[in-house]
Amino acid sequence: MTSNPPTAQQDVLPSEHPGDLDRHDPEREIAARAVAFRNWGRWGEDDRLGTLNHIDDAKRVAAAGLVRTGRTISLSMAFDMSGPQKGWRRRTNPVHTMLDTGTDAERGQGFPHGLGGADDVIAMPLQCATQWDGLGHIFDHGFAWNGRRAGDVVTSEGDLVTGIEHAASVIVSRGVLLDLGRHLRPETGELEDGYAISVADLERCIQAQGASSAVGRGDIVLVRTGQFGRARREGWGDYAGGPAPGLSLTTAGWLHRTEIAAIATDTWGFEVRPNEFDVPAFQPLHQVVIPNLGLTIGEMWNLEELGTACAESGRFDFLLAAPPLPITGAVGSPVNPVAVL
Considering only residues 266 through 295, tell me which ones interact with its own copies, judged by CB under 8 A.
279-284, 286-287
> Which residues, in sequence order, are bridge partners of residue 177?
222
| N-term to C-term CA, the chain | 46
- Closer by beta carbon to its own copies, 150 or else 205: 150
Q: How far apart are alpha carbons 55 and 185 in whole angstroms?
A: 32
Restricted to residues 230-259, the positions that interact with its own copies (CB under 8 A) are none
- Closer by beta carbon to its own copies, 59 or else 230: 59
- Closer by beta carbon to its own copies, 34 or else 223: 34
Q: By three-state DSSP, how is residue 144 classified?
A: strand
Within 8 A by CB and 6+ apart from 315, the residues are: 68, 212, 341
Neighbours of 87 (CB within 10 A): 9
Contact between 108 and its own copies (CB under 8 A)? yes
Restricted to residues 158-217, the positions that interact with its own copies (CB under 8 A) are 158-159, 165, 168-170, 172
DSSP state, residue 291: I
Q: By three-state DSSP, how is residue 82 classified?
A: coil
The least distance separating its own copies from the CB of residue 303, rounded to whole angstroms, comes to 13
Site map (CB under 8 A) of its own copies, residues 78-107, x = contact = xxxxx---xx-xxxxxxxxxxxxxxxxxxx
Cβ contact 201:184 at 8 Å: yes
The least distance separating its own copies from the CB of residue 184, rounded to whole angstroms, comes to 28
- Closer by beta carbon to its own copies, 1 or else 8: 1
Where does this chain touch its own copies (CB under 8 A) — which range of 13-21, 136-144, 227-235, 238-246? 136-144
Contact between 14 and its own copies (CB under 8 A)? no
The least distance separating its own copies from the CB of residue 145, rounded to whole angstroms, comes to 11
Where does this chain touch its own copies (CB under 8 A) — which range of 43-51, 110-118, 207-215, 228-236? 110-118
The least distance separating its own copies from the CB of residue 29, rounded to whole angstroms, comes to 9
Restricted to residues 292-331, the positions that interact with its own copies (CB under 8 A) are 319, 321, 323-331
Q: By three-state DSSP, how is residue 148 classified?
A: strand
- Closer by beta carbon to its own copies, 112 or else 186: 112
Options 112, 186, 234, 312; binder of its own copies; rule CB under 8 A: 112
Cβ contact 1:142 at 8 Å: yes
- Closer by beta carbon to its own copies, 49 or else 138: 138
Give the dihedral of Cα atoms 266, 287, 32, 27; nearest 10 deg: -110
Cβ contact 335:302 at 8 Å: no
Options 120, 188, 235, 237; binder of its own copies; rule CB under 8 A: 120
Q: By three-state DSSP, how is residue 234 classified?
A: helix
Q: How far apart are alpha carbons 302 and 130 in whole angstroms?
A: 8
- Closer by beta carbon to its own copies, 168 or else 208: 168
Cβ contact 149:161 at 8 Å: no
The least distance separating its own copies from the CB of residue 179, rounded to whole angstroms, comes to 19
